[in-house]
A = this chain, B = another copy of it.
Amino acid sequence: MPVGRGGERRAISLGNPGLPGDPYTTPTLWAAIQYLAPRENAPEHRHSQSAFRFVLEGEGVWTVVDGDPVAMRRGDLLLTPGWHFHGHQNVSDSPMAWLDGLDIPLVAETDQGFFEFGPDEVRTKATPERSNSERLWGAPGLIPVSCAGTRPQSPLMAYRWAHTDAALTAQLELEDEGVAGVIEPGHAAVRYANPTSGADALTTMRTEFHRLRPGTRTRASRISASSVWQVFEGSGHVVLNGTERTIGRGDVIAVPAWTEFALRAGGQLDLFTFSDAPVFEKLNLLRTEVSV
């Protein structure tokens, strides 16, 4: 049963009350919690906007990207870069939920929106463990010779939680061993990258996962990019321009541009984050200030 061509998607957009007009999370970023009921599917479309899904709950959904079904599980990051056809299909008996991130406001304000419907039926029956994109691009440091050369967007459509978790664990272990790797004491972080260039996985959004040891307080800093943070696991505090708020699993925080930002972990604190930093890096507009 498709969600339907009318609504197309069932999503609760996280509209920032500080922004007029459409329910955007920051002036350039859209964040929403998307939900797919058991045995439901969302038909395919494509648009110039780049998108990702970061899975919060459940298992048993496939995002089909240009015909390649990509399994979704809690903690996985899935990409649907601009102008790739994509649909979703829940083949399980449980609902699923994920965080949807897009550059909708940026693309809208700059008049770059293009959209096309795909076929009404989601083009997959099979439920492979690994997508084709992972089979081609999922080995560390290996590139298919037939695909050599830089691409603007990552050809790897899924970044699995097991890898993310292991990389963060390793950074903290290396810190214990006196080997460089963490950003600052007690603070590990990985960036989801495009293996053909080493740049951000998407051209308009930076996506990262951060882990803080219990009790860690990050340096306060501000940056002209805006960002969204999702508490994946754990709890603690966020400090925005000097005001401290408690945060816990499932919370989503919008950090406007040039807001002083710091995190403080209660127990271990795991967060997914995305921002518009790559846009301003490319336009020579990004500025950063780290507090002493």
Given known contacts A48-B285, A110-B276, A132-B179, A146 and B189 CB-to-CB distance under 8 angstroms: yes
On A, residues with C-beta under 8 Å from B are 26-28, 48, 82, 106-107, 109-112, 114, 132, 134-150, 152-154, 156, 159, 163-164, 166-167, 170-171, 173-174, 179-183, 189-198, 201, 203-204, 208, 210, 224, 226, 256-258, 276, 279-280, 282-285, 287
Expressed in whole angstroms, the minimum distance between the Cβ of A269 and any Cβ of chain B is 16
Q: Which residue of B114, B197, B283 is within 8 Å of A203 (Cβ)? A: B283
A154 CB contacts on chain B under 8 angstroms: 141
A282 CB contacts on chain B under 8 angstroms: 203, 282-283
Instruction: Identify whether the interface residues of A are mostly helix, strand, loop, or mixed.
Output: loop
Is A204 touching B139 in the complex (CB atoms < 8 A)?
no
A170 to B153, CA, bound (A): 22
Is B140 touching A139 in the complex (CB atoms < 8 A)?
yes
A140 CB contacts on chain B under 8 angstroms: 134, 137-140, 156, 159, 163, 195
For this complex, 11 residue pairs linking A to B, each with C-beta atoms less than 8 Å apart, are A139-B166, A140-B140, A140-B163, A141-B193, A141-B201, A142-B163, A142-B167, A142-B191, A142-B192, A195-B198, A282-B283
Is B190 touching A82 in the complex (CB atoms < 8 A)?
no
A147 CB contacts on chain B under 8 angstroms: 181
A145 nearest in chain B by CB position: B189
Is A110 touching B27 in the complex (CB atoms < 8 A)?
yes
A195 CB contacts on chain B under 8 angstroms: 140-141, 193, 195, 198
Q: Which residue of B135, B142, B152 is within 8 Å of A193 (Cβ)? A: B142
